[in-house]
Structure 1
Amino acid sequence: MKRIIFFLAILILTSLAITVFGKEKASVAPVNLTCEHLKNPASLDVAHPRFSWTLQPTDESAYGQRQTAYRILVGSSQQKRADHFGDMWDSGWIESDNMQLIEYNGKPLRSDEKYFWKVAVKDENGNESGYSEVAKWSTGLFSQEEWTAKWIGTDKAYDPAEGPNKIYDPWFRKTFDLKENPSKATLFVASVGYHEVYVNGKRIDDHVLAPAVTDHTKRARYIAYDIAPALTSGTNVIALWLGTSWSIFAPYATADKPRTPLVIAQTDIYDANDRKLARIATDQSWKTYPSPNKLIGNWGFGVGGYGGEIWDASKEVEEWNLATLDDRNWKNATVYTPALELSTQQVETNILIDEIHPVAVESRPDGSYRVDMGVNFAGWTQISVQGNPGDTIRFLFSEREQEEITFGLMNAYVIGASGKGTFENRFNYSSGRWITIKGLRSAPKKEEIKGWMVRTAFDDAARFECSDPLQNWIYNTVKWTFENLSLGGFIVDCPQRERFGYGGDAHATSETGLFNYKLGAFYTKWLEDWRDVQGTEPMTGNMNDPEWARKQEGSGRILGGGILPQTAPTYHGGGGPAWGGIVVTLPWFIYQHHGDMRVLEDNFEMIKGWLKFLDTHVENDMLKRYGARWDFLGDWLWPGATSQGMNNYSDENIFFNNCYWVYNLKTATQIARVIGRTEEAEQWARQAEQSSKAIHAKYYHPDDHNYSDRSMRSLSAALYGDIMPAELRPKVMERLAEEILVHKNGHIDVGITGGAMLFKVLREEGRDDLIYSMTSQTTYPGWGLMRESGATTIWEMWEKDLPGHSLLHSSYLYPGAWYIDGVAGIRRDADVPGFRKFMVRIPKLTETQISSAKASFDSPAGLIESSWERENGRITLNVTVPPNCTATVLFPDDNGKTVHVNAEHVKETGRKEGYILFEIPAGKYRFSN
């Protein structure tokens, strides 16, 4: 009895303590803080940046955790006392469950400053969480007038008439004295071409191939470098190393700048009392000297390719980036005045990732050595060599085992006086699996050869695995391929032949990207690139017009208006309406995924301009063909396409592009309604309705519910544009199913654009059975054939052995989204963007097809998990709903079996299309029958 009384007293005292000293512990805590989709970003030039977080449950076994209010504090110093932290902004307690992209509303931000922020929330019972860990961001330069630095380069420029590039990647340096160690110094650097930054011999930051690729007829992006720790009292030197790369890319040639690497940089240096000690800025007083590194070949598609780079060890200069170097024999920099807008690089930089080691080294009869890296990849290599001084060692890259070199990609190393050295990339990258080494006198050692994939440093967001090994191979290979294409803040079509950001290919990759990676900043930057290139004619728009070659061997004329080229930021190459139309589709995908209203607003005028341009080619409510040979492509690279020839002059292609145009109109209508642009929404909705009727009337075949040429791509396009009367859609869907399962024996029969349409339609219709049929084939055409052929990346074409085509390409990456939202069943709710509400649906697949699947998806609203299994007719499903979210579970209605749930508060809410529906709040759940 005494023990019972004792425990009761403890409980009473605890309750009193909670009442007197504070509330109960909150059920959630804010974590994963981001600013403008980035973790602790540097040099933002956004006046009102947006904050996001997710919530972590304090009790993993609880249910229904929610946020009912938040309070954000922003401080100008992390060291301020806690009660004064919010000197820039204290939002106060805001009654809201919003935790995504909340706009800063405090005092005006100043250029070149660091700011710190944290957030607290209230849970479903009004209990306050503690404050999160402190996150930070720094600002860039908000106005062009704040730049007093000058653009500098050398007096050497690339001349296409002279053949391959002859410019050695230049060094620049500036020495200066400081009377004391500084406390703050941010060096802002923008370059045309790549750059590296050194201070007193120390490399600043470990990113590579900086900055992100940008249209250098309009813009240059700067990166902020914190150089204060590398500076000291006394004599200092800032050294910049430029790489030629995009500086000689033909479409970027303009009259106001030479085709040569350029740089602009400046830093204000402060002491501990925030007193400015000095401003160091690029000007003619900087000294320059050629480095030992040089681009091999040119830079661009069709003008010798992207080559590689050569290092001449005989030209090395020790201590080139130290203050002790006597640089009196170096030349002064040349000042240039390009008309470029300077803006920050608001996307992650490139990094080296996934170190790759060779699996075999073969000696060949001609004295060369063949290195098998075991996987096709795009990136850097490091290879140690030895020989006689002056020997040139060549490294030839190939995607194909039977070919010594593909796409002209090679590197070289000229051995210096020591007789040995190490080649490593600096301002270019290669792509391939096999490396043929020529010029060595003895076999290279496997342990002295390394490779790395190079890609933009966005975070992974998903994991997936299922019972079918082929599906796992496709998923993992799609992701590996996607990552090898994501260099420089945009997705290239291929990393070896073209390196262009095709809009049509983006349709095949963007949802795969969003469901598997954190790409909010990445795609926001790419859309800015599309805004920059709008108004420029596609490369081959009017090739017979003598004025088309404004930019020498690349691109087209600046026409103004809403016309879009087929790629950005590179605008070079062919395409059609589905290429430019990515400017409508991608903002909508980002909005659905992130709930990002600003991305719709920022790109609305571009969308409006694009649709206005298409309006000039509309007759009788139908889009007619425009442009020259390569400007009106429809589907691309379907099975057998190369033998059949391009279909861009066919009537079927008119139909295909009209269906896509209607899809653009309907998507733009939704965008306009979300942001309150009623007039445009009504106009586009009306046009979409009228055009749908016109297209259907002309191309529909009522005898078999088919369209145009009765191909799979035509059926996909019709359903994608939803051009048919509502009562016919189920019949057209069944005709598509027949086309796949019967006429094509379960195989796919579309290409890049048609495939993106097909998979989007089937995912939204819940026809996982049809997608599985196509992804499970191991004969031509299909992903399974790629696996059977030993592929380690996804090919450009369904056919492997056609010469000149890439084996690492963006063409067929569209299954990557399906594995998350189809097989694992984690699906967006069309009415609630940002995954605050979502669905988990077990796919309609048989146990012999896929018997189990599991995935985790780190959504913008938190970690979602789904794991299901079918065994002997019994189904189990495990679901994790993150705090502040709700989900609709669609569990198969299996012959009237009762569904058991591990939580009493979960009740059946309805039945639909063979599923039993359950609405569930945050928590971990197990369903079974």
Structure 2
Amino acid sequence: MRTRNLLLIVIFLSASFSIFSQKQGALYPMELTTEYLVDPTGLDVRQPRFSWKLATANPQVFGQAQTAYRILVSSTKRDLDKNKGNIWDTGWISSDNMQLVDYKGKELESDRSYFWKVAVKDEKGNPSAFSKSASFTTGLFDDAEWTAKWIGTTEIYDPSAGPNKISDPWFRKSFDLKQKPSRATLFVASVGYHEVYVNGQKIDDHVLAPAVTDHTQRARYIAYDIAPQLKQGKNVIALWLGASWAIYAPYATPDKPRTPIVTAQTDIFGKNDQKLVRIITDESWKTHPSPNKLIGNWGFGVGGYGGEIWDANKEIDNWNLATYNDQVWNKATVYTPALKLSAQRVETNTLFDEIQPVEIVSRPDGTFRVDMGVNFAGWTQINVDGNPGDTVRFQFSERQQDDMTFGLYNLYVIGPSGKGTFKNRFNYSSGRWITLKGLKSAPKKEDIKGWMVRTNFADATSFECSDPLQNWIYNTVNWTFENLSLGGYVVDCPQRERFGYGGDAHATSETGMLNYQLGAFYNKWLEDWRDVQGTEPMVGNMNDPDWARKKEGSGRRLGGGILPQTAPTYHGGGGPAWGGIVVTLPWFMYQYQGDVRVLEENFEMIKGWLAFLDTHVENNLLKRYGGRWDFLGDWLWPGATTQGMNNYSDENLFFNNCYWIYNLKTGAKIAEAIGKTAEAQKWKHQAEVSGKALHDKYFHADDHNYSDKTMRSLSAALYGDIMPVKLRPLVMKRLEKEILVNRNGHIDVGITGGAMLFKVLREEGRDDLIYSMTSQTTYPSWGLMRESGASTMWEMWEKDLPGHSLLHSSYLYPGAWYIDGVAGIRRRDDSPGFRKFDIRVPKFAEEHVSWAKAGFNSPAGMIQSHWKRENGKTTLSVTIPPNCAATVYFPDESGRKIRESSGFATETGKKNGYVLFEINSGNYIFEN
């Protein structure tokens, strides 16, 4: 696993270098982003938003703040370097805003490059120098600008004919240029994965492109700068497609074939920006099968996601060079799918963390067992040596005792040389152990490499504390999250399902936001949820391979606010807490990023979802709806596999009503934030009425408990806040007893209930209760996973149950607590985006956690907190970034005076056993 401090070092060095020449006390803008992305390409947003953070030339200065900004946007880097904003010059705007500032300049044009920078004034009115320049390029704003056709081959996947038989096709187009181009952007959208080559050179180093998308609705395009690879004379553009999501059952529609298809076009410009030619995909392109083919049928319940087979006997040298003669290749076939084309506004997938084998064992049967040392989802590269024509088999397993789990394997057919190298291209595998079959000699460790593959979002946070188990949980939670974040959404697991479950997102989204920069990632995923709305959940067998989203009128596409349980993947079971992610995720984005537009863009979806639920309300309580898999409550709690599903139970009805009420309250807050007064009042009233009805029906006054008196029912009741205000402390006390006494400090909830439980305890400041559960090493616990040799988090608290994943999104909710609980960096409801926040020293016993430190590169800048407790003395070191302020909660310990190093902190009172201090930007040390 990799060290997560590298980003913070890079940020610090970058800031130090950038502001080296600035005068003392001056601010300097840095880390410029456009729509959350660094120098994005192909944006189809007509009014993109600009963000920056601030560095200071003198870390000893306190209270630095931005009082004004000036943004310049230019069509050329040359003009921008001369401080000319020929597209937009805001002039000096009196504002402290530095997050998601709307572009309001001249109308942006399609397929153009833009450059921008910003300067700020500090609290004394002193202007900074301009920042380094940032850039973005635009995509194609209007559908009419697309003249390219969709092309594919005549090889069509037939699910009734058994496993996939179609090859991953090559396409190429040759053309002549009279001069070396000055600029050329190739826009490529595909159903199925693609790679782009120009004159033999692969363009960009990303993999498994584009991001996963609902291909009944849209295809996402990526913009490739191909001008550097083009030359005067003969050129060739080549495309390589992979079957993957092109044959996925829920994306099957009558208007397109179940085969990989692509549309691409580029305008090539010469001197003086004169257009030389437009190249488009059409029937003039040539196609030929590549040596690569998907193994399996790509989907859960249809034989799994398989792997890839490479046949070295079918290799063609120089297939993507202009000199290659493609006369015998077939013509491409034109198709006419009804797909909306939109830009991929999320980072692409990239290879991370090269992984080396830790052990290779030769076995008596002639096979070799490779231990990669860590469970991961990604690519492998393996050198092979055998007889020409032999097939080498690579089987992947999460379990040491099994040669293969979940049917994941790759094949390599050896060519005439007897040697070769397998490397993934359009699929990925998941596991820790690889069994190699068919080799002539034992492989060496240096012959085998692996990489984790994930969306290329940036780290935001480093964390460490004195407790080795807590460090292990934190690092393993993050490693697991990263292995699940491939394709612009979070999958439940990378080997069995690859679905984007809404319920699992509740268990992961705050962990994600407090540890990574996920603004673009979550905005993209919310667009996926908007696309799938109107589709019924899985009302029959959730594994039915024939179930797929259909066009309206087929009986499956119902319209309205109903939601399936996953996006953009449709399949899978769930319930109100699964579809309810469309309410909570926009609200989290607003709280953590200060993003108002995300509330506005998703409001109709939220409104539709709550309206759908309202059709299943009777006497102010939510009734059960859907089929067997459509009304799940908590999921995979300890012992769930032996107790059976509880989806028809009265306890489950209570649980889902609590969640529905939480959705109503959250929806009301969203409506208030964007001025939707009528909806806010309606939802708030419904939540109050239904909360009272639910409390009256299910409350046990003798025990201050609810429903079946389990930890999940207590968690749900507190999460929905259904009790009268005066009873909440008593219910909290009962939850404390449930954890510490009845469960002997252990957790007793699953995915959904766990997300609720940890959310409640984090907001209540009950770090002691969370620590009790995360410090256990016996069943059920994260510590037991560590004791069992896990390197990723499991699907369920039990390990050795066949068919269940050992790399899963289930129990990742502690990842948020380490930052806002243990390190004490806490967001505030009254200041979305971390312009104001709290720093709170937790009240751990010294023998439990004696120190913790974290650096969180928040949307407003780098926040650092380092506290330690030694011999009864507490010390807190804090860094508040420029233009920010914080409230420090320092433990109020009887007889100890609190000292603060700078003299710039203002004591404002006491609360809940803490002394409170208000501080502005700067570095502070508190101690008693």
Deviation at 1:24, TM superposition (A): 7.0
Q: What SS does the corresponding residue of 2:79 show, helix, strand or coil?
A: coil
Aligned twin of 2:31: 32
**Kept in 1: contact 2:250–2:547 (CA 8 A):** no
Please tell me whether the aligned partners of residues 25 and 58 of structure 2 are also in contact (alpha carbons under 8 angstroms).
Answer: no
Q: Deviation digits for residues 447-473 of structure 1, max 9, x if unmatched?
A: 110000000000000000000000000
Distance 1:204 1:781, change over 3 A: same
CA contact (8 A) 2:542 2:571 kept: no
* Distance in 2 separating the partners of 1:390 and 1:701: 72
- Residue 669 of structure 2 aligns to a residue whose secondary structure is helix
Q: Equivalent residue of 1:592, what SS? A: helix
Residues 530-549 of structure 1 aligned to structure 2 (within 5 Å) = 530-540=529-539
Alpha-carbon separation, structure 2, partners of 1:885 and 1:699: 45
For residues 134-183 of structure 1, give each alpha carbon's deviation from its aligned partner in whole angstroms, at most 9, with x where no partner exists: 00000000011100000000001100100100011000000000001001
TM-aligned CA deviation for residue 551 of structure 1: 5.7
Tell me, in whole angstroms, the C-alpha distance in 1 between the residues paired with 2:176 and 2:545: 55
Matches within 5 A, 1:49-60: 49-60=48-59
TM-score using structure 2 length: 0.96
Shift of 1:550: 6.4
Match of 1:7 in 2: none
Paired residue type of 1:842: V
Q: Deviations over 1:819-854 (max 9, x none)?
A: 000000000011110000000001121101100000
| Cross-structure match for 2:560 | 561
Name the CA distance, whole Å, in 1 between partners of 2:55 and 2:550. Answer: 53
- 2:52–2:98 contact (8 Å) kept in structure 1: yes
Is residue 730 of structure 2 the alignment partner of residue 731 of structure 1?
Answer: yes
1:370 paired with 2:356, answer no
1:900 maps to 2:861 = no
Task: State the shift of 1:80 in Å.
Answer: 1.7
1:8 aligns to what? none
Query: Residue 423 of structure 1 aligns to which amino acid in structure 2?
Result: F
The CA deviation at 1:538 is 1.4
Which AA in structure 2 matches 1:282?
T
Corresponding residue for residue 419 of structure 1: 418
Partner Cα distance (2:550, 2:679) in 1: 35
Q: Indicate if the aligned counterparts of 1:634 and 1:648 stay in contact, CA closer than 8 A.
A: yes
**Cα displacement (A) at 1:556:** 8.2
Match of residue 700 from structure 1 = 699
How far the C-alpha of 1:549 sits from its partner, in A, is: 6.1
Provide the alpha-carbon RMSD of the alignment.
Answer: 1.4
Once residues 541 and 512 of structure 2 are traced to their aligned partners in structure 1, the CA distance between those partners, rounded to angstroms, is 34
Q: Which residue of 1 aligns with 2:145?
A: 146
The answer to whether the 8 A contact 2:251-2:549 is kept is no
- Secondary structure of 1:128 counterpart: coil
Do the aligned partners of residues 774 and 77 (structure 1) sit closer, same or farther apart at CA in structure 2, a change above 3 Å counting? Answer: same
Q: 1:211, 1:55 → 2: CA distance?
A: 33
Compute the displacement of 1:25 (Å): 5.6
Instruction: Letter of the 1:484 partner, please give it.
Output: N
Residues 1:84 and 1:128: Cα distance change in structure 2 (over 3 Å): closer
Equivalent in the alignment of 1:476: 475
Query: Measured at CA, do residues 313 and 617 of structure 1 come closer, stay the same or move farther in structure 2, by a change above 3 Å?
Result: same
Distance 2:228 2:633 in 1: 55
Is 1:745 aligned with 2:744? yes
> How many angstroms apart in 2 are the aligned matches of 1:755 and 1:543?
24
Would you say the 8 A contact 1:828–1:835 is kept in 2? yes
Structure 2 distance, partners of 1:463, 1:545, is: 43
- One-letter code of the match for 2:94? E
The structural deviation recorded for 1:896 is: 3.5
Which residue identity is paired with 1:648?
N
Are positions 1:670 and 2:666 aligned together?
A: no
Question: Pairwise mapping of residues 335-734 of structure 1 onto structure 2 (< 5 A)?
Answer: 335-540=334-539, 557-734=556-733
Secondary structure of 2:352's partner? strand
Report the 3-state secondary structure (helix = DSSP H, G, I; strand = E; otherwise coil) of the residue aligned with 2:712: helix
Name the CA distance, whole Å, in 1 between partners of 2:764 and 2:54.
32
Distance 1:540 1:148 in 2: 41
AA aligned opposite 1:241: W
- Give the 3-state SS of the residue equivalent to 1:587 in structure 2: helix
Read off the aligned partner of 2:360 and give its amino acid letter: V
Residues of 2 paired with 1:449 and 1:338: CA distance? 41
Per-residue Cα deviation, 1:873-907 (whole angstroms, up to 9, x for no partner) = 00000000000000000000011311000011223
Distance 2:716 2:444 in 1: 53
How big is each residue's C-alpha offset from its partner over 1:26-76, in whole Å with a ceiling of 9 and x where there is no partner?
521101100000100000000000000000011111100000000000000
Report the counterpart of residue 783 of structure 1 in structure 2. 782
Query: Secondary structure of the equivalent of 1:803?
Result: coil
Q: Separation in 2 of the partners of 1:335 and 1:368?
A: 46
2:501 is aligned with what amino acid?
Answer: Y
- Equivalent position SS for 2:46: coil
CA contact (8 A) 2:385 2:439 kept: yes
Taking only the aligned residue pairs, the percentage that are identical comes to 75
Asked if 1 retains the 8 angstrom alpha-carbon contact of 2:535 and 2:549, the reply is no
Deviation at 1:557, TM superposition (A): 1.4
CA distance in structure 2 between the partners assigned to 1:758 and 1:566 by the alignment: 22
* Aligned equivalents of 2:586, 2:48: Cα separation in 1: 19
Rounded to whole Å, the distance in 2 between the matches of 1:144 and 1:806 is: 42
Q: CA deviation at 1:546?
A: 14
Distance 1:925 1:544, change over 3 A: closer
Q: Is the 8 A contact 2:152 2:261 kept in 1?
A: yes
CA distance in 2, matches of 1:856, 1:556: 52
Kindly indicate whether residue 134 of structure 2 is the aligned counterpart of residue 135 of structure 1: yes
Q: Deviations over 1:572-626 (max 9, x none)?
A: 0100000000000000001000100000000000000000000000000000000
Distance 1:829 1:758 in 2: 20
Mapped to 2, the partners of 1:743 and 1:409 lie a distance apart of 42
Cα–Cα, structure 1 residues 232 and 83, in superposed 2: closer, same or farther, change >3 Å?
closer
Q: Which residue of the partner structure matches residue 14 of structure 1? A: none
Change (3 A) 1:822 1:407: same
The answer on whether the counterparts of 2:300 and 2:545 sit within 8 Å (CA) in structure 1 is: no
Question: Structure 1 unaligned runs (5+)?
Answer: 1-22
Conserved in 2, the CA contact under 8 Å of 1:536 and 1:556? Answer: no
- Tell me by how many angstroms 1:908 deviates: 1.1
Cα 1:544–1:470 change in 2 (3 A) is closer
- Verify the 8 A CA contact 1:541 1:631 in the aligned structure 2: no
Is 1:837 paired with 2:819?
no
**Deviations, residues 356-377 of structure 1 (Å, cap 9, x unaligned):** 0000000011110000000000
Q: How does 1:86-97 map to 2 (within 5 A)?
A: 86-97=85-96
Q: CA deviation at 1:213?
A: 0.1
Aligned amino acid, residue 434 of structure 1? W
Cα separation, 1, equivalents of 2:236 and 2:23: 57
Moved more, 892-901 or 757-766: 892-901
Shift of 1:547: 11
Structure 1 counterpart of 2:885, one-letter code = T
What is the CA deviation profile of residues 737-791 of structure 1, one whole-angstrom value per residue up to 9, with x for unaligned ones? 0000000000000000000000000000000000000000000000000000000
What amino acid does structure 1 have at the position aligned with 2:101?
I
Aligned residue number for residue 923 of structure 1: 922
> Relative to structure 1, is the Cα distance of residues 318 and 548 closer, same or farther in structure 2, using a 3 angstrom cutoff?
closer
* Alignment size in residue pairs: 905
The separation in 2 between residues aligned to 1:459 and 1:353, in whole angstroms, is: 12
* AA matched with 1:384: N
In 2, Cα distance between equivalents of 1:547 and 1:29: 57
User: 1: distance between equivalents of 2:80 and 2:103?
Assistant: 21
Once the two structures are superposed, the pairs formed by residues 299-318 of structure 1 within 5 Å of their partners are: 299-318=298-317
| Deviation per residue, 1:904-927 (Å, 9 max, x gap) | 122310100000000000000000
After TM superposition, give the deviation of residue 540 of structure 1 in Å: 2.8
Shift in Å, 1:674: 0.4
How far off is 1:545 after superposition?
13
Alpha carbons of structure 1 residues 84 and 844: separation in structure 2 relative to 1, 3 Å: closer
Distance 1:189 1:81 in 2: 29
Q: Aligned partners of 2:206 and 2:415: how far apart in 1?
A: 28
Q: Which residue of 2 aligns with 1:10?
A: none
Give 1:875's aligned amino acid. Answer: T
Specify the code of the residue in structure 2 equivalent to 1:131.
Answer: F
Q: For 2:362, give the aligned amino acid.
A: S
